Amino acid sequence: MNYTATVQQYLSALQDMRYARMVPCSDSIRRNIRVIARNLKREGTDFKYLVNEERKARILAAIQADPKIMSRDLANVCGVSSGDKFRRLIKQYTGLRIEEFRLNAASNMTAELHQA
């Protein structure tokens, strides 16, 4: 069993990232929390990293769908309680302010469109 893929599948199926916690995940995939944590570590990752990657993916998808989406709406997409907390999260993930991140994401999307 590939625990990384199983946890990623669980996280991508979540409607609300506020519920991205280890206990509901373990209940969903019917494995003990310690077993999941140990096997994720063996596979070179951990639950928190996978949650952060899912949040990043959701943020990028939301910006691609609507480049002018507001910070509070992006916060809801990734399960963060406020726009301020979301802005700190973006800074932590990327080292960029939200405005810089949007410009960077928009220019990357434009470059990808021109390559296709």
Q: Which domains does the chain have, with CATH numbers?
A: 3-115 (1.10.10.60)
d(CA 77, CA 16): 7
Residue 109: predicted pLDDT: 52
Closest CA to 4 of 27, 12, 23, 17: 12
Mean pLDDT of 48-68: 87
Q: What is the pLDDT of residues 10-25, one digit of tens each?
A: 999 998 888 889 999 9
The pLDDT of residue 116 is above 70? no
Mean pLDDT of 36-54: 94
Query: pTM score, two decimals?
Result: 0.80
In the structure encoding, which two tokens stand for residue 48, read together? 């928190």
In the structure encoding, which two tokens stand for residue 99, read together? 């405005």
Query: Which is more confidently placed, 108 or 116?
Result: 108
Q: What is the mean pLDDT of the chain?
A: 84
d(CA 62, CA 49): 20
Mean pLDDT of 27-42: 94
Mean pLDDT of 99-116: 61
Residue 88: predicted pLDDT: 87
